Chains A and B, each alone.
Chain A
Amino acid sequence: MNTDLEMTVNGFKTILKAEPYENLRDLLRKSGYTSVKKGCDVGGCGACTVLANDKPVYSCCVLAAWADGKTIVTLEGLAKDGKLDPIQRTFMEKGAAQCGFCTPGFIMVSKYVVEHKPNATEAEVRKALGGNLCRCTGYVKIVEAVMAAKEQGLK
């Protein structure tokens, strides 16, 4: 019953085999992209957030087949040649990751915000992060990290 899906994952053209009912998160996880976390099953936590054609999506809420032909980026794909993406660096520097379980999802949304809304105010950044849950940080340092990465990007 497996279907071949052709997509670009983290810059590489790939063929992934998926069950027709399988969601994108489970497909990515079983294909080794374990940064894509499972925090729930219903789009409630954002831990599974990936970029699909440059937009953040809850990968648990779309079928794997939906991603056929799309470009997917997971957290594994952000660092280039061993160099961390600025948003990864500011997450480190600001202490935005405590247990780290929500971190992949948060970084993926933040990456989108930094790239596509460079002039966003803090309130807008907070709104953009509203789909992701973190139980450890109280979001303070996550917001700081995004603001810092945005500033670096603007320079």
Chain B
Amino acid sequence: MSQVTIEKIAETVVGKRLPKIDARAKVTGEAEYGLDIHLPGQLVGKILRSPFQHAKILKVNTAKARALPGVRAVLTGEDIPVRYTFNFAEFEDGRKVPPEKGGESALRGLMPPPRADKHPLARGKVRFVGDEIAAVAAVDEDTAIRALSLIEVEYETLPAVTEIDEAVKPKAPLVHDEIEDNLAAHLHGTWGDFDRALKESDHVFEDTFSTQHQHQACMETHGCVCKWDSEGNLTVWSGVQTPHTIRLELAKVLDMPESKIRLISKWVGGAFGSKNELEPFMIICSQLSKVARAPVSLILSREEEFMATGCRHPYRVTIKTGLKKSGEIMAREVKILVDKGAYMCQGAAVAFFAICYPSASLYRPKAVKFDAKLVYTNKQPPSAYRGFGNPQASFAIESQMDMIAERLGLDPVKLRLLNANRPGDTTAHGWRMPQSTALTECIEKATEAIGWYEKKQHPVPNRGLGLACLIHSTGERGAYGNIEGSSCTLKVNDDGSVTIFAGSQDLGTGAWTILAQICADALGAKFEEIRVVAGDTDLPAFDLGAYASRSTFTGGNAVCIAAEKMKEDIFSLASELLNLPAEDLGISNSVVFSKSDPDIKVSLREVAKYAYYGAGKPKNLITVGIYDTPSTLIDTKTGMWKEPGPSIAYTFACHAVEVEVNPETGKVKIINLVAAHDVGRVINPTTAEGQIEGAALHGLGLALWEDVRIEKGVTLVKDFRDYFILRTPDMPPVKVIFVEKKDPNGPFGAKGIAEAALVPVAPAVANAIADAVKARVTSLPMTPEKVLKAIK
């Protein structure tokens, strides 16, 4: 857990708007995504999916499909008899806790042990329309599709439960026969003296909100290419967020050593949380390839993407808040009902995040009580999506803040300022807010930029202003084992250029560019001469993956550590070349110089040549940077965290929105959106803005339009004609404000940003609608119908 002091290092590249290091490959079409991989002899894989919500599989006859010329492999559930699930927190203190001990969880006591509830190909019964039943690999797509149509499945349909209210009723049909009441998981507990905090409150308000299925809708659908060699090594090409942990899970399911699987993931066509867990298609594809003894490409169609890949969990959230007369928040209780769909995926972890983050740590409640029930239904299973439960819970909390302000006759801005988290605060569950906490400044800047008080004085009919705040993580200890780290190998090549072999993953966010910028300043090397090689589990680097807005922070710190070590090596060699003590040496722009006489210098290239070929002893310029944040796991005895909690650089934001509502039609127009974020030091303003602007698109969609409509278990959305995503002409202006308060632990003071900006948009819009037409919509998306109904 070493830490580099970067205070003294000059920032010449950090903070600059530099083009991304992989931009050229993207603007020339050279970037090769999963669907572009074409190996000799490659076959096409396809999946047969259930047409029923709930049915017993009586018989699967594959004889005709197998007989079709060109078909090389046909698989059913009988051929892949494993059960698996996303295994959140499978380790404790680095040791694997066996399932029979109920351990398996760094969050034990609060999180249920993960239960394997999914077969890659269904066995016994199917549980949603889209459940995988069988799969084929054939010489081309046409043959594969024909083969699917030749597979005969005999079903016996079963009564289905597709709504949570039905599913929780006694005697409801069971999605998983062994799970009573369809209760997939139940998380409950208290932090602090809740009863007392409630008693000390002068006002108590309780309100309920609901959210919808929102889809990540990455432009690149899920998929992979799999290939085995004769020694039993498996190579997988797939654009994912978490190459190492997906490999870990795949190895477990296939019962083979991790190192015999190589996952290559250089280009990811969008992820947003949807590509961070092992999914059926990858297991299926690996087995098709094994049986067919040929490489197989299995790419989901857009329709499959909408019907069967994890979207955002719909939540029903009831928030009870106790406050003092002054508006000071004393107690908060959150009850969540989650529509889990047919399988668990990351459901429990997402709900836990919704509880721990906004519910327990936005503002300063003294005590928090929570109860989340995840209910199985015969529907497609949602999973992780940018924000990870935070958007749903924040919609409830931040909508209610305005409702409370109105009921108590308080100014919603002042109410938030009064309760805003401050640096050094400790939350009810034991998290310490970092010195970089700047929620107050974010609220002030956002309201100022949107012209809050002037506009309030001169109201325009049907126009309204709303705001909403956010807390989010920078990295999250407890996702896997007891680390929150990253590593990289740094190499100064024999021409003096630098290669970073990074564990960090880049989903298009610019994470690899950020690493190069950090390296340039931390090492004193020319930015143009730094390359990043990453996205491959065979590299000498490790990382948990790109989720929880962690890459800049953890990956960046790893680079700083490797760079510090590299400088020592460079200086020791240069001191031989220059005949000067190493302490007198500095390096900048790939030139080593004497601090006492800057005219005495030697290029990094010459140092490298000397190192590899001339020193008379082998001296390779290769260093490793390993970083782990000083964050903490939950104490399983107390159910609380020791400070600082799972993240050490919580981030905050405030969004302010101006809307115009047409009272005749209920249509909402976004006039302006201001997003103020305390991101610490901004390493690259262009990529940081890009994260906020892109997240705003998802946030507005969540607020107003996006909905994977599922009726009686049937997904009605098949393509982009049915799923409305904002397009260029309709995208409102987004004003980004960085509140740059350096974080003491971040690389050059940086914190995470990727997920945060999605979260406050929906509640800010809801509050603005309420301000415009005095009508409160408590259910997402806020369609014209719902707005009209609220007005009436």
Q: Report A-chain residues with C-beta under 8 Å of the C-beta of B695.
A: 138
Assess whether B219 is in contact with A134, with CB atoms less than 8 Å apart. yes
A44-B721, A138-B696 in contact; A35/B23 too (CB < 8 A)?
Answer: no
Residues of chain A lying within 8 A (CB to CB) of residue B220: 37, 39, 99, 101
Instruction: Known contacts A39-B219, A127-B729, A140-B693; decide if A94 and B720 are in contact (CB<8 Å).
Output: no
A91 touching B721, Cβ below 8 Å: no
Question: What are 25 A-B contacts with C-beta separation under 8 Å?
Answer: A34-B32, A37-B33, A37-B35, A39-B219, A42-B720, A79-B28, A89-B27, A91-B23, A92-B19, A95-B686, A95-B687, A98-B509, A99-B269, A102-B219, A126-B728, A126-B731, A129-B728, A129-B729, A130-B729, A133-B720, A135-B219, A135-B697, A140-B689, A140-B690, A140-B734
CB–CB B29/A99 < 8 A: no
- Separation of A130 and B269 alpha carbons in the complex (Å): 20
Per CB-CB distance, the 6 closest pairs between chain A and chain B, nearest first, are A35-B29, A99-B508, A44-B720, A100-B26, A101-B269, A138-B693
- B617, CB-defined interface residue at 8 Å: no
Our pick among B272, B302, B729 for the contact of A40 (Cβ within 8 Å) is B302
Contacts of B19 in A (CB 8 A): 92-93, 95
**Per-position contact with A for B26-41: 1 when CB-CB < 8 Å, else 0?**
1111011101100000
Shortest B185–chain A CB gap in Å is 30
* Interface check A51, CB cutoff 8 A: no
Q: Taking each of A92, A94, A136, which has the highest tally of chain B beta carbons within 10 Å of its own beta carbon?
A: A136
Q: Which of B38-60 contact A (CB under 8 A)?
A: none
In the complex, are the beta carbons of B270 and A99 less than 8 A apart? yes
Assess whether B697 is in contact with A98, with CB atoms less than 8 Å apart.
Answer: no
Tell me if A88 and B217 are in contact (CB < 8 A).
Answer: no
B731 touches A37 (CB 8 A): no
Confirm or deny: A16 has a beta carbon within 8 angstroms of a beta carbon on chain B: no
**B729 near A103 (CB under 8 angstroms)?**
no
In the assembled complex, which residues on chain A have CB atoms less than 8 Å from the CB atom of B507?
99
Residues of B contacting A129 in the complex (Cβ-Cβ under 8 angstroms): 727-729
Cβ contact within 8 Å between B687 and A45? no
Question: What's the nearest-Cβ distance from chain A to residue B583, in Å?
Answer: 40
Chain B 209-228: CB-based contact to A (< 8 A → 1; otherwise 0): 00000001111110000000
The 8 A CB mask of B267-289 against A (1 = contact, 0 = none) is: 11111100000000000000000
The distance from the CB of A68 to the nearest CB of chain B, in whole angstroms, is 22
Scoring A residues 29 to 42 as 1 if CB is less than 8 Å from chain B, else 0, what string do you get? 00001110111111
Task: Looking at the assembled complex, report how far the CB atom of A25 sits from the nearest CB atom of chain B, in whole angstroms.
Answer: 11
Tell me which of B23, B28, B219 contacts A101 (CB under 8 A).
Answer: B219
Q: What is the size, in residues, of chain A's interface with B at 8 Å between Cβ atoms?
A: 52
Q: Which residues on the B side are within 8 Å of A127 (C-beta)?
A: 728-729
Are B219 and A92 in contact, with the CB atoms below 8 A?
no
A76 at the A/B interface (Cβ < 8 Å)? yes
Q: Does B781 contact A (CB under 8 A)?
A: no
- Which residues does chain A contribute within 8 Å of B720, judged by CB atoms? 40, 42, 44-45, 133
Provide the residues of chain B in CB contact with A112, threshold 8 Å: none
Chain B binding surface, main DSSP class: loop
Cross-chain contact A97 with B694 (CB below 8 angstroms) = no
B28 and A138: CB pair below 8 A?
Answer: no
Q: Which residues of A contact B267 (CB under 8 A)?
A: 99-100
- Cα–Cα distance between A84 and B220 once the two chains are bound (Å): 25
Given A95-B686, A101-B33, A126-B728; A75-B28 close (CB under 8 Å): yes
List of B residues within 8 angstroms of A141 by Cβ: 686, 689-690, 693
Q: Is the CB of A97 within 8 A of B219?
A: no
Task: Tell yes or no: A56 within 8 A of B by CB.
Answer: no
B686 contacts A94, C-beta separation under 8 Å: yes
Q: Which residues of B contact A140 (CB under 8 A)?
A: 689-690, 693, 731, 734
Q: How far is the CA of A132 from the CA of B720 in the complex (A)?
A: 11
Nearest Cβ distance between residue B693 and chain A, in whole angstroms?
3
The residues of A that contact B510 with a CB separation of less than 8 Å are: 95, 98
| Given A127-B729, A138-B734, A140-B734, A97 and B20 contact (CB-CB distance below 8 Å) | yes
Contact A41 B301 (CB under 8 A): yes
- B146: CB under 8 A from chain A? no
**With A130-B729, A133-B219, A138-B697: A95-B26 Cβ-Cβ less than 8 Å:** no
Beyond A39-B219, A93-B19, A103-B27, is A98–B689 a contact (Cβ under 8 Å)? no
Q: Shortest Cβ distance from A141 into chain B, in angstroms?
A: 6
**Which residues of chain A from 90 to 147 have a CB within 8 Å of any chain B CB?**
91-95, 97-104, 107, 123, 126-127, 129-143
Known: A130-B727, A130-B729, A141-B690. A136 touches B29 (CB 8 A): no
Nearest opposing residue in chain B for A39, CB measure: B219
Q: Are B690 and A101 in contact (CB under 8 A)?
A: no
Contact of B156 with A by CB under 8 A: no
Report chain B residues within 8 Å CB of A93: 19
Q: Which of B27, B302, B727 contacts A39 (CB 8 A)?
A: B302
Q: Is the CB of A101 within 8 A of B270?
A: yes
Q: B272: nearest residue on chain A (CB-CB)?
A: A135
Are the C-beta atoms of B690 and A98 separated by less than 8 Å?
yes
Please state if B729 and A133 are interface contacts (CB–CB under 8 Å).
no
Q: Roughly how many angstroms separate A137 CA and B272 CA in the complex, as a whole number?
A: 12
* Interface residue? A148 (CB, 8 A): no
Residue among A33, A78, A99, A132 with most chain B CB within 10 A: A99
CB distance from A14 to the nearest CB of B (A): 17
Mask of A10-31 contacts with B, CB within 8 angstroms, 1/0: 0000000000000000000000
Alpha-carbon distance between A27 and B240 when the two chains are bound, in angstroms: 27
Q: Given A98-B508, A101-B269, A141-B690: A126 and B729 within 8 A (CB)?
A: yes
Tell me if A74 is interfacial: C-beta within 8 Å of chain B. Answer: yes
Among B36, B267, B510, B698, the most chain A Cβ lie within 10 Å of the Cβ of B36
CA distance A127 to B728 in the complex (A): 7
Most buried by A among B28, B270, B686, B696: B28
Q: For the complex, what is the distance from the CA of A89 to the CA of B26, rounded to whole Å?
A: 11
**If the complex has contacts A92-B23, A101-B269, A138-B731, are A133 and B725 also in contact, measured as CB distance less than 8 A?**
yes
In the complex, what's the smallest C-beta–C-beta distance from A58 to chain B, in angstroms? 12
Q: Once the chains are docked, how many angstroms separate the CA of A47 from the CA of B29?
A: 12
Known: A44-B719, A44-B720. A95 touches B690 (CB 8 A): yes
A19 shortest CB reach to chain B, Å: 8
Q: Is A98 in contact with B219, judged by CB distance below 8 angstroms?
A: no
Q: Is B712 positioned at the interface, with any CB of A under 8 Å from its CB?
A: no
Q: How far is the CB of A98 from chain B (nearest CB, A)?
A: 4
Residues of B within 8 A of A45 (CB): 219, 720
Q: Does B96 make an interface contact (CB < 8 A)? A: no
CB distance B23 to A104 under 8 Å?
Answer: no
Question: Which chain A residues lie closer than 8 Å to B23 at the CB level?
Answer: 91-92, 95, 97
* Residues from chain B with Cβ under 8 Å of A101 in the complex: 33, 218-220, 269-270, 508
Instruction: Flag if B35 contacts A38 (CB, 8 Å).
Output: yes
Interface string of B678-700 (1 = CB under 8 A from A): 00000000110110011111100
A93 to B686 Cα, complex, angstroms: 9
A69 to chain B, nearest CB (A): 24
Residues of A within 8 A of B31 (CB): 100
